[in-house]
């Protein structure tokens, strides 16, 4: 029976990736459709994609598939054909090819079965996610965005919005998509007569969000087809004005792809203009935050002097310090009391 999960260390896999000379293509795709047996679907697809040397992150659920992957360019068409063969619903699935890509986005294939491909917190049995808003192609978005009766809504997380967004887009300030949905309804409550355009990175979140707004009584709901990635690709192909400003955050090792030269964010440590996300290099932290090159050198890639000091302790001491520490997903949000400001006081009593 073939191995259905990776058994090689991440360090070794990453080393192999950076030694590769074959060009790779980074692509994302998703599809809402009913999968009767997600585990069987996952296992069957895993063996085929593994053989094609596909790397990346794929979630399977009863409601569909959500993927961000990297594939050798020579295997791209075979991968697409493999997806088509896996389920009739995947025929002609839209593939969002990365805007800026060095092929070093992923180094291992991870496929997981989940309750939902996007955690939305919706448990209302009357909600139908297929009743989405109207798709907008790049030129259609540009035209409708000029209408004074249009509201553009960013359905991504705060740290994504911070480094880049469409002109005049409003932020739904939240750390999670499940929190954003009711928050968006509340923020837009007095604008049900407006054109509501929703967008996200590749389309999966705003597609469900547009259905949710329609369910809540909004009539003129639209969403950008293929999200920022597809919009940018089409706008460039068609020589359209690009209405997205800055960098598009992506959930792989690149942490972002440049759309325009504008830098609209700032270093979270010194405040200089910067839009480079990084994870704190202290293994006991790994906070996601924005850091400029000068602070990266000064803090040795860490988010604080404490993390810098801990990172340079003997490995055994670092392990002792990490024992029992709450170390879930940490993301800096400057609008809240957040780890970059106070994580020192929140950590266990063994810290200085």
Assess whether 267 carries a catalytic annotation.
Answer: no
Return d(Cα 147, Cα 234) in angstroms, integer.
21
User: What contacts 279, CB < 8 A, 6 or more positions away?
Assistant: 286, 287, 288
CB distance 88 to 237 below 8 Å: no
* DSSP letters spanning 180-244: HHHHHHHHTGGGTTSEEEEE-SSSHHHHHHHHHHHHTT--SEEEETTHHHHHHHHHHHTTPPP-E
Sole residue written with tokens 């880049």: 164
Any bridge partners for residue 153, and if so which?
A: 170, 198
DSSP class of 55: E
Q: Which of 200, 267, 274, 295 is catalytic?
A: 200
User: What contacts 80, CB < 8 A, 6 or more positions away?
Assistant: 95
Instruction: Determine whether 212 is exposed, middle or buried from the number of CB atoms within 10 Å of its CB (0-12, 13-18, 19+).
Output: buried
DSSP class of 52: T
Q: Pairing between strand 55-61 and 24-32?
A: unpaired
Classify the C-alpha dihedral 241-201-87-26 as positive or negative: positive
Give the closest residue to 151 by CA, choosing from 139, 166, 164, 169.
169
CB atoms within 10 A of CB 12: 11
* Alpha-carbon separation of residue 119 from 64, 105, 185, 254 (angstroms): 12, 23, 17, 23
CB distance 277 to 289 below 8 Å: yes
User: What contacts 323, CB < 8 A, 6 or more positions away?
Assistant: none
Report the catalytic residues.
Answer: 200
């Amino acid at each position: 029976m073939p191995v259905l999960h990776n058994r090689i260390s991440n360090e070794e896999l990453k080393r192999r990736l950076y030694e590769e000379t074959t060009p790779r293509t980074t692509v994302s795709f998703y599809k809402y459709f009913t999968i009767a047996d997600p585990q069987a679907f996952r296992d069957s697809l895993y063996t085929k994609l593994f053989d094609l040397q596909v790397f990346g992150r794929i979630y399977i659920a009863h409601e569909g598939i959500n993927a961000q992957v990297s594939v050798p360019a020579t295997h791209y068409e075979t991968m697409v054909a493999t997806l088509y063969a896996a389920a009739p619903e995947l025929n002609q699935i839209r593939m969002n090819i990365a805007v800026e890509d060095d092929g070093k986005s992923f180094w291992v294939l991870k496929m997981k079965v989940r309750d939902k491909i996007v955690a939305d917190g919706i448990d209302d049995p009357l909600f139908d996610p297929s009743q989405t808003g109207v798709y907008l192609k790049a030129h259609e978005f540009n035209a409708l965005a000029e209408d004074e009766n249009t509201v553009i809504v960013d359905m991504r997380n705060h740290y994504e919005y911070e480094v880049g967004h469409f002109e005049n887009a409003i932020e739904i300030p939240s750390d999670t998509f499940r929190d954003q949905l009711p928050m968006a309804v509340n923020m837009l409550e007095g604008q049900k007569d407006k054109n509501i355009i929703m967008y996200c990175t590749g389309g999966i979140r705003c597609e469900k969000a547009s259905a949710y707004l329609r369910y809540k009584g909004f009539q003129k709901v639209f969403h950008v087809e293929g999200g920022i990635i597809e919009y940018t690709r089409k706008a460039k192909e068609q020589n359209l004005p690009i209405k997205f400003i800055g960098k598009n955050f992506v959930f792989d090792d690149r942490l972002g792809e440049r759309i325009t030269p504008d830098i609209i964010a700032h270093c979270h440590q010194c405040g200089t203009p910067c839009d480079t996300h990084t994870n704190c290099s202290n293994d006991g932290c790994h906070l996601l935050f924005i850091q400029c090159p000068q602070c990266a050198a000064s803090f040795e890639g860490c988010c604080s002097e404490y993390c810098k000091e801990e990172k340079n302790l003997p490995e055994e001491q670092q392990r002792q310090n990490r024992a029992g520490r709450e170390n879930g997903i940490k993301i800096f949000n400057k609008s809240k009391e957040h780890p970059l400001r106070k994580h020192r006081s929140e950590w266990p009593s063994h810290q200085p």
